[in-house]
Amino acid sequence: MSIPTIAATRVYLGGEEKSLSFEQFPYTGLSKTYCVDHQTADSACSATAYLGGVKANLGTIGVTAAVKQKNCSAMNMKENQVDSIARLFQLKGKRTGVVTTTRVTHATPAGIYAHTSERDWESDTDVMNFNGDITQCEDIAHQLIFGSTGRNLNVILDALLIDLGGGRKNFLPREVQDEDGNSGDRSDGVNLIEEWKRYRESQGQLYEYVWNRERLFNVKENTEYLLGLFQPDHLNYNLERDPQTQPSLEEMTEAALRVLDKPGSSGYFLLVEGGRIDTAHHLSWARKALDETAEFSKAVQKALSLTNQQDTLIVVTSDHAHTMSYAGYAARGSDVFGYAGTASDEDPYTILNYANGPGYKPFMATGQRYVPSLEEMNNLEFQWPSTVPKKKETHGADDVAIFANGPWSHLFSGVMEENVIPYLIGLASCVSPYIKCEDLHPKLP
């Protein structure tokens, strides 16, 4: 969710003067997103930064920079593993959860609970496909169910973890079909969903596993642990989802908060990810990316409406930028999915473009630039023009915005390293092991 993405989404929502929900927050800053070994971050090293508090190497999650990609022995060394901010909440007896429109084993949500040297090891089959040793390289889905942080998330915890998203295939054996008739992807024969249920039962905990919108809306009020896997893979894009069966990000956020924010609660941590913004950009699907950004804005607004800003800190940011530009001299009120004007070659050019990606079109034999028609650009899967050909668009190395509201939100002002973010959250919530902060927090009346 780069700054150009936010700006273009305003126009998508009705005009340049519009604002997304989080743009109304009183404090803003910028985050520097680079990895230890790369100028441009991926979602793995960046998740380690804004959730774990350390910069890491590209492709690694929940480990320090001492761990190189695909190095199993290094990732298993305790001194190389990094506790996430969610784990700190758990250690203080607070509830924790994660909501995402991607697979719950994808890089961003995995930053909550996993310690791995390879972000793509989402199931044991993935480990084997990379010629890894499954006895030494624990896959991400397995860590979610059996790891100390994942197991204790009330939405999956001793606190309370909510896991709401997609990715059922990584939790089921190949010979097992899910509720929609899709086969799993695991080779070890372990049904991780059933393992999650068995553990909850062994602890005498009130839990529910849901796989569609109807069941999500009927979760009992006394539910302590909620696992929701709504698709075999990522959830569908909002513009393509079936609203009767797949919940929106806004609806999942509301469901998570109703489980986490119980009467008498001592506090909670919830990560909400609009992950399909990123996947749309990678395919140069600008129309879908802007719509997913609008959906994320709705989820933030829902969180605002269900919480008290006097005791709830909400921080909105992005793990990295993208290469989409929003430029040209289009007139006010122009369709953001249209033309900006006429270029030097006397042909029109689009308002939205990518620095690289699959939308590259080679020059025709005549030497003329390819100009997409308005009819083409109205297609949901039209791939917007790219300067350099890539099968997938890359991330951007530019800084991303931070928006903060609530207690101690003033700390999120200025330009900061991305790995500072969890330390500020830890201070604001009094879960940091490095600071005795109780005296800094006046008791609410």
Q: Which residues are catalytically annotated?
A: 43
> Which residue bears the tokens 């001194």?
79
Q: Check: CB of residue 92 under 8 Å from CB of residue 268.
A: no
What's the rounded Cα separation, in Å, for the pair 345 and 249?
43
322 is in an annotated binding site: no
Q: Check: CB of residue 181 under 8 Å from CB of residue 168.
A: no
282 is in an annotated binding site: yes
233 is in an annotated binding site: no
DSSP lists the bridge partners of residue 29 as 402, 414
23 is in an annotated binding site: no
What's the rounded Cα separation, in Å, for the pair 37 and 431?
30
Closest CA to 84 of 441, 435, 438, 431: 431
> Which alpha helices (DSSP H) does 17-80 contain, by range?
43-52, 72-75
221 is in an annotated binding site: no
185 is in an annotated binding site: no
375 is in an annotated binding site: no
What's the rounded Cα separation, in Å, for the pair 361 and 372?
10
108 is in an annotated binding site: yes
Question: Helix (H, G, I), strand (E, B), or coil: what is residue 411?
Answer: helix
DSSP lists the bridge partners of residue 111 as none
Q: Which residues contact 410 (CB under 8 A, 6 or more apart)?
A: 27, 404
Binding-site residue positions for Zn(2+): 278, 282, 319-320, 395
Q: List, as residue ranges, the binding site for Mg(2+).
A: 106, 108, 273
Positions at the binding site = 106, 108, 273, 278, 282, 319-320, 395
